[in-house]
Homo-oligomer: A and B are copies of this chain.
């Protein structure tokens, strides 16, 4: 099959969080078109089993391939942890997850070989970052810490707030005590409270944002395979957004974090895929 280099990039997440990844792709690959799918009917994935998350991911990939995408970015940490290996080999287009790129940079940047990972209960419990990091450098010690209140705090919009600072202080103290010099923001929502995390962790700790690193990895991959968009096929809606439920609330959150207003959001029945 000949794949069109001007085809869009498919990005999916369990909900709105993956928009931080879409945002980095928009910033770093401004000529690329994007089809985003947020599985708002079945969010969150973090509390679901591996089998369920793999099944959901296959349905979404099926939908994205119908949209003729040239590559797929799994912008959800849980889906990257549970489904990437399973689905990557089934596809004839590249499929990237958000965990690999972040782990690679963390392994390169850590000096004292003590890397912290924060994320949802599901992501941290999966040990997936540790598995990636240990493969890159067996000497690295990984300290994981689940921060379940961060996502609802971000969704409440309390980004710069004493409550969020207090919660961050409590969650992150253990990582400071254990002297990590590098911290992976292992949940797509967390870049939105990066400044609070920075304040609590101090200036010396390197914060790794996998959304940004994944966008760079995608850029490298498209360059190497000669698949960067020519930028010549203009479209009225270069960014298209699909959700499985409640398109309006999605739009509101999207408009609050993206640099422009989302024009087109469409609800689809993902169970049919």
A residues near B, CB below 8 A? Answer: 40-43, 47-49, 52, 148-149, 151-153, 155-156, 162-163, 166-167, 170, 245-246, 249, 271
Contacts and interface: CB of A to CB of B under 8 A. Distances in A.
A245 B47 contact: yes
Nearest to A170: B163
Contacts of A47: 40, 43, 245-246, 249
Contacts of A167: 163
A31 to B, nearest CB: 34
Contact of A156 (B49, B149, B246): B149
Contact of A245 (B40, B48, B151): B48
Contacts of A49: 245-246
Contact of A152 (B149, B170, B245): B149
Question: Nearest 6 pairs between A and B by C-beta?
Answer: A152-B152, A48-B245, A149-B152, A49-B245, A49-B246, A163-B166
Nearest to A167: B163
A3 B151 CA distance: 46
A50 to B, nearest CB: 10
Contact of A48 (B41, B149, B162): B41
Nearest to A249: B47
A153 B163 contact: no
A150 B12 CA distance: 28
A151 B155 CA distance: 13
Nearest to A149: B152
Contacts of A271: 271
A246 B48 contact: yes
Given A42-B42, A163-B163, A167-B163, A245 B52 contact: yes
A138 B217 CA distance: 61
A152 B148 contact: yes
Contacts of A41: 48, 52
A149 to B, nearest CB: 5
A271 B271 CA distance: 10
A49 B249 CA distance: 11
A162 B166 CA distance: 10
Contacts of A52: 41, 245
A145 to B, nearest CB: 13
Contacts of A151: 152
Nearest to A153: B149
A166 B162 CA distance: 10
A162 B170 CA distance: 12
Given A40-B47, A48-B246, A148-B155, 17 more contacts: A41-B52, A42-B42, A47-B245, A47-B246, A47-B249, A48-B245, A49-B245, A148-B156, A149-B149, A149-B152, A149-B153, A162-B166, A163-B163, A163-B167, A163-B170, A166-B166, A271-B271
